[in-house]
Amino acid sequence: MAKKSPVVAETRKQQEKVAAYKGAKGQVRQVMGAVVDVQFGEDLPEILNALETDNHGNRLVLEVAQHLGENTVRTVAMDSTEGLVRGQEVVDTGEPIAVPVGDATLGRIMNVVGEAVDDAGPIKTAERRPIHAPAPSYIDQSTEAEILITGIKVVDLLAPYAKGGKVGLFGGAGV
């Protein structure tokens, strides 16, 4: 029987843990650029939870970054806060921001909350994973050296790059 990855197990724990916080409602108290302070009644959302609000017909996702006290959290907006006003209702999703994963995401362009921005329609995949997850254990990490194929014949032949490392390519105009 195959051993399950600790990352997958931790993700499942987070999904099962969707606490009593889910659905808790708060109100915007202060907007400072991309930073938004939100005040809740009693159910204060956990740090890294995603909060949602409606910003003139657009879904705005806020990520909890800090607990300030007095049932207030400081959040970071994942999109423009233009038009956001004090007193506006915010809802706790009860879980962190999750993005689609799998073969359906290959070649697609998405924003930080996993929405497609490449005009090719929504990304059709059943699996989503949180953007904040524990690192895989050392045993689960690959130690095999593989060559990164850049598609530039000169680079691939004379100075091949290893996958997973840092790559610096410089070129003049017209390259």
Structural domains in the chain, sorted by start: 6-13+23-98 (2.40.10.170)
**DSSP tally for the chain: helices H, then strands E:** 2, 10
- Of 45-59, 83-97, 132-146, the one with minimum mean pLDDT is 132-146
Given pLDDT bands bounded at 50, 70 and 90, which one contains residue 6?
low
Q: What is the mean pLDDT of residues 116-140?
A: 90
Given a contact cutoff of 8 angstroms between Cβ atoms, the answer to whether 8 and 128 are in contact is no
Distance CA 65, CA 62 (A): 9
Question: pTM for the whole thing?
Answer: 0.69
Query: pLDDT tens digits, residue range 62-74?
Result: 999 999 989 999 9
